């Protein structure tokens, strides 16, 4: 899901979570940096690098990982409302 606001984008990714099992720990970017030989694990590093803020929350049987990408729309057509 993506919500566009005048000052940024709010993005949410939802998955089936744990399927009723014990919840795993909240996702976190690796503070030691990326393992360039790894086959996975770059997603949260990208989110952590580009997002103004991000987090995760469990909602029943699903998990939502969200991020907020702030931007300045002053003097940009993206900051205007389309003509009807």
The closest alpha carbon to 23, from 65, 61, 64, 67, belongs to 61
Q: What is the pTM of this model?
A: 0.61
Place of tokens 């969200």: 66
Beta-carbon count within 10 A of 50 CB: 10
Is residue 28 very low, low, confident or very high in pLDDT (cuts 50, 70, 90)?
low
Tell me how far apart the alpha carbons of residues 16 and 12 are, in angstroms, rounded to a whole number: 13
Tell me how far apart the alpha carbons of residues 14 and 63 are, in angstroms, rounded to a whole number: 6
| pLDDT tens, position by position, 30-72 | 666 667 777 776 777 788 888 899 888 876 777 888 999 988 7
What the block records as the tokens of 49 is 């690098």
- pLDDT of amino acid 23: 54
- pLDDT of amino acid 68: 93
Element (H, E) at 44: helix 43-50
């Amino acid at each position: 899901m993506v919500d566009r606001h005048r000052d940024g984008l709010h993005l949410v990714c939802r998955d089936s979570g744990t399927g009723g099992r014990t919840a795993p720990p909240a996702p976190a970017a690796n503070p030691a940096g990326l393992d360039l030989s790894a086959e996975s694990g770059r997603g949260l590093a990208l989110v952590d690098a580009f997002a103004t803020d991000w987090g995760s929350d469990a909602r029943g049987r699903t998990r939502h990982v969200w991020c907020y990408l702030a931007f300045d729309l002053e003097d940009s057509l993206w900051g205007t409302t389309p003509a009807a």
